[in-house]
Structure 1
Amino acid sequence: MADLFLKQAEEYAKARPSYPTELFQFIASKTPSHELAWDVGTGSGQAAKHLAGIYKNVIGTDTSDKQLEFATKLPNVKYQHTPSIMSMEEVEQKVAAQGSVDLVTIAQALHWFDLPSFYKQVKWVLKKPHGVIAAICYDVPRVSDEVDKVFDEYYDVLSPYWEPGRKFVEDNYRSIDFPFERVDGADHTGPFEFVSQVTMDLESYLTFMRSSSAYQTAKDKGVELLGEDFFQKFKVAWGHNGSRIAKFPLFVRIGRVGDVKR
């Protein structure tokens, strides 16, 4: 997974949408203790910086050193490069001791993981019975009818270049394996919906699209998907040189480790 974002790490850091404070307030309200959070697949630290304002300590891990170079540096956040496959000994060495983590978050990354192995690690590090896992993903941005129409056309062209796990994002993590029980006060494990609003000019909007793994995969195969044709279409649809608000629908699956069934 790390290789998919290696070449466009800086663009990824600049273009990824931020997360609303309400999302992390909701997640944190489900953990009685706020001592330690583990942000897995932290990338350039978009989620970790929010967690740092709530949890005493945060560890953000990623398989890409390049991504971590662009992560926001904060005194209570430790960034750690990890291999894509870790033994329990490595988890204890690089992340945390057994039963010591209040919260595990995975923002826009769960669909890349070997889920059985990852869930085993999650159950091992989380506190019992109140440790919480929260998996976040976001859908495509919505700007205006005109811009969205061109984006949907572009997305159709982009579709063959996505990794298979992308289908889980497209259905907002509804079908992804999530073997956890609902948290207190909830009737299910989600997805629960939030919205991130990002002010973008046309260039930052196009940078966001170039930051996707599918775009890079196509480019590696000699296919430039954001060529002059699409650029002109987006320019006309954008309508002016100013900024617009892009709305990213966010979805979170959240569950407790204490009531794991399997």
Structure 2
Amino acid sequence: MSDFKDHFAPVSDAYGRHRPGYPPELFDWLAGLAPHRRLAWDCATGTGQAAGELSRHFDEVRATDASARQIDTAEPRPGVTFAVAPAEASGLPDHSAALVTVAQALHWFNTDAFYAEVCRVLSSGGVIAVWSYGLLETGDARIDAALLSFHDADMGPYWPPERRHVVNGYRDLAFPFQQLDTPEFAMQCHWNLEQLTGYLGTWSAVARCRDATGEDPVERLRSRLDPIWGDLARVRQVRWPLALRVGRVPSAAAHA
């Protein structure tokens, strides 16, 4: 745990308010793959967005995060037990969980150590699901171009190197499991400009930029978006396609 870098402690309060929720259909599908419904582990839970959805399907959800600030900010949810723990040491009993999920966080992990913990924790036939989402889409070419420039050019120097794995949809990360075919899922919201910029303020690169420069880059972006957006109260559809990888632990590994 000594090498854990908490990129989100400075924005934990905003993270809970402004990060979009994951589609319920994703959790319906994942629960249908699980060999039982007794326990699911949501690793790197953040403020608990995925854990809350999992609690609709499982008797118990263990939601862990290495960031104490994120756990402190998480909203209590029935059936969810929050705990501060690194990805490689969940504290769960051997072969107890039917499902392990990691939402928008695998790129921060020591994956070898985490995967060993997954094999220890998952029961026979258990499932691991990891997903990420990159830059949002509004369907307006001018807005999307401004957001792309903000992400790549303005925030480029401030992204941690691990961000490249989010951009390429986790394609280059090892995934040593029996991989399953997945449907397409996407997060969707209907936001005004205030909500959109609130979300942008939760980016780790934005937090690093603020610390380095003493200025808020989101305010500069907003000045570019104001004339494009039109009426500031206007609500637009915002969409993030999910890059999803799902697999089962081989039987031998699950009982090693």
Closer, same or farther: CA 71–217 of 1 in aligned 2, 3 Å: same
Question: Which of the residues 169, 172, 175 maps onto 2:169?
Answer: 172
Shift of 1:254: 0.3
Q: Is 1:50 aligned with 2:53?
A: yes
Shift of 1:72: 2.7
Per the normalisation by structure 2, the TM-score is: 0.90
Aligned match of 1:233: 224
Point out the more displaced range, 236-245 or 111-120.
236-245
Distance 2:13 2:188 in 1: 21
- 1:187-206 aligned within 5 A: 192-206=183-197
Shift of 1:149: 1.3
Per the normalisation by structure 1, the TM-score is: 0.88
For 1:56, the aligned partner's letter is: D
SS in 2 for 1:122: helix
Aligned match of 1:123: 119
Indicate conservation of the 8 Å contact 1:49/1:72, yes or no. no
Indicate conservation of the 8 Å contact 2:47/2:70, yes or no. yes
Q: Which structure 1 residue ranges, 5 or more long, are not aligned?
A: none
Q: Identity across aligned pairs (percent)? A: 34
- 1:55-204 aligned within 5 A: 55-83=58-86, 86=89, 91=90, 94=91, 96-128=92-124, 130-143=125-138, 144-156=140-152, 157-183=154-180, 186=181, 192-204=183-195
Distance 1:197 1:138 in 2: 12
Distance 2:252 2:179 in 1: 10
After TM superposition, the runs of 4+ consecutive aligned structure 1 residues lying more than 4 A away are none
Shift of 1:113: 0.2
Indicate conservation of the 8 Å contact 1:150/1:237, yes or no. no
SS in 1 for 2:188: strand
Once the two structures are superposed, residues 44-66 of structure 1 have per-residue CA deviations (whole angstroms, 9 ceiling, x without a partner) of 00000000001110010011121
Once the two structures are superposed, residues 32-80 of structure 1 have per-residue CA deviations (whole angstroms, 9 ceiling, x without a partner) of 2111000000000000000000111001001112112232312210000
Closer, same or farther: CA 229–164 of 1 in aligned 2, 3 Å: closer
Distance 1:141 1:110 in 2: 19
Shift of 1:100: 0.8
Once the two structures are superposed, residues 79-112 of structure 1 have per-residue CA deviations (whole angstroms, 9 ceiling, x without a partner) of 00124663xxxx4xx3x11011100000000000
Closer, same or farther: CA 6–260 of 1 in aligned 2, 3 Å: farther
Q: Which structure 2 residue ranges, 5 or more long, are not aligned?
A: none
Aligned match of 1:219: 210
Question: Which of the residues 33, 36, 43 maps onto 1:33?
Answer: 36
Distance 2:252 2:135 in 1: 31
Closer, same or farther: CA 118–195 of 1 in aligned 2, 3 Å: same
Distance 2:118 2:105 in 1: 14
Q: Is 1:252 aligned with 2:237?
A: no
Shift of 1:223: 5.6
Shift of 1:145: 1.6
SS in 1 for 2:82: strand
